């Protein structure tokens, strides 16, 4: 008996081809911008832009003719935009009551 894979390395070749197919997708630029704006906040304006661009990126990624990835980036931008907008509201509320 020989050491190693009994099927002649077929599963390794399948794994490599699957990774190559995934690497053919480009990340949607709007999704990346959405996440960056959500992180940088910019006193609420970045948060609003992050939510808008994240939603627009999800729509673009869903189109079958566009072979793009980046759903996680778009959702991260939307979530950080919501968090940033809530933080802005909290800062304004505290400032008004002080």
Note whether 54 and 77 are within 8 A (CB): yes
Give the model's pLDDT for residue 18: 44
Q: CA torsion, points 59, 32, 49, 87, in degrees to nearest 10?
A: 120
pTM for this entry = 0.72
Domain ranges (residues) in the chain: 26-97
pLDDT confidence tier of residue 23, bands split at 50, 70 and 90: low
Please give the average per-residue pLDDT across 61-71, as a whole number: 92
Note whether 70 and 27 are within 8 A (CB): yes
Residue 19 has pLDDT above 90, yes or no: no
pLDDT confidence tier of residue 17, bands split at 50, 70 and 90: very low
More confident residue, 73 or 11: 73
């Amino acid at each position: 008996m020989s050491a190693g894979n009994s099927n002649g390395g077929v599963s390794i070749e399948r794994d490599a081809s699957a990774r190559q197919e995934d690497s053919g997708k480009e990340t949607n630029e709007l999704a990346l911008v959405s996440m960056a704006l959500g992180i940088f906040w910019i006193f609420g304006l970045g948060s609003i832009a992050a939510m808008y661009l994240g939603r627009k990126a999800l729509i673009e990624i869903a189109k079958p003719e566009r072979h793009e990835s980046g759903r996680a980036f778009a959702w991260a931008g939307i979530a950080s935009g919501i968090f940033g907008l809530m933080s802005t509201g909290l800062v304004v509320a505290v400032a008004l009551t002080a």
